[in-house]
Homo-oligomer: A and B are copies of this chain.
Amino acid sequence: MQKVHKFRFSVAYADTDAGGIMYHGRYIEIAERARMAWLGKDAMPIDDDVGLVVRDLHMRYMRPLFLTDEFIVETRVTAVGAASISIEQKFVKNGEVCGILTGTAAYLNSVGRPVRLPDNLAKVLANETN
């Protein structure tokens, strides 16, 4: 069973655009913020590695979010490979899903080559999908 990590956030002016809604690019940033709030130092690169790098992401926008709206980002790990991790993140306001991000990240070493996840990170992630 997948664990769900909830991250609460509010829409500030910085997140909005002249259309009066949350800027579509901001979802990507806030999703990353939610992943960091969940993994924290466990997600940081070791040695001189570049670290976790997003390879692929898909974002579906279903309902707009507005200035001062409060919402929750629900993060689930959907797959863990030797050198990569796949996640799904839902933006939920008052129980309604406003957007869904799915993505895959790889762990890169100091010269930008994909390598096995550091032990500590692998251990943390292994715990997520049991």
Docked complex Cα distance between A60 and B57 (Å): 7
Docked complex Cα distance between A90 and B116 (Å): 29
Residues of B within 8 A of A37 (CB): 10, 12
Docked complex Cα distance between A13 and B41 (Å): 12
Contact A50 B12 (CB under 8 A): no
Chain A, 23-40, CB within 8 A of any chain B CB: 23-25, 28-29, 32-33, 36-37, 40
List the B residue with the shortest CB-CB distance to A9.
B33
What band does the interface of chain A fall in when counting residues whose beta carbon is under 8 Å from B? Answer: 35 or more
* Interface residue? A82 (CB, 8 A): no
CB distance from A113 to the nearest CB of B (A): 12
Residues of B within 8 A of A41 (CB): 68
Contact A50 B21 (CB under 8 A): yes
* Interface residue? A112 (CB, 8 A): yes
Interface residues of A (CB under 8 A from B): 10, 12-14, 16-21, 23-25, 28-29, 32-33, 36-37, 40-41, 44-45, 50-51, 53-61, 64, 66-68, 112
